[in-house]
Amino acid sequence: MSEMDNEKYIAIKKNDWIIILVLLLLPLLIKTIYAFVPSKEVYYQIKHYKNNSEIIENIEPSKSNESLTVQGKIGSMIIELDNEKGVRVASSTCPCLVCVNCGWTKNEALICVPNAVVVQPINKTAADKVDAITR
């Protein structure tokens, strides 16, 4: 084979690698930027069970730290709300404490599976808009 035949087998060049790298890092960059954008119009919806019935509470964070005690299926848990930091599970009676180890979050839901407790942030402006109506 000649040298020209060997050159046509190079499929990916240096510029192609740069484009691939940019396309792979772009979603990570967008998610990082979105995580640091403060959303001021947020309230938290807490779903938990009491006496085998689902209870839904809507809580707005105040300017100071606020803590709530929520009863789950296997015990109680303490949820802390802060206007700047967001929300976190401070303590729980669940065995693995995955919900406690998640720390502070503003834009993501906190879920304690053993206690059947969900703390979900909801944007006020998005919640007021109707996306679709079905019958």
Q: What is the pLDDT of residues 53-94, one digit of tens each?
A: 788 888 877 666 788 898 888 888 999 988 778 889 999 998
Q: Are 54 and 45 in contact (CB under 8 A)?
A: no
Strands 53-59, 42-50: pairing kind: antiparallel
Kindly report the average pLDDT of the chain as a whole number: 80
pTM score above 0.95: no
d(CA 14, CA 42): 45
Q: Are 76 and 93 in contact (CB under 8 A)?
A: yes
Tokens of 95: 């065995």
User: Which residues, 6+ apart, have CB-to-CB distance to 124 below 8 Å?
Assistant: 41, 42, 43
Q: What is the dihedral of CA 105, 121, 60, 95, to 10 degrees?
A: -60
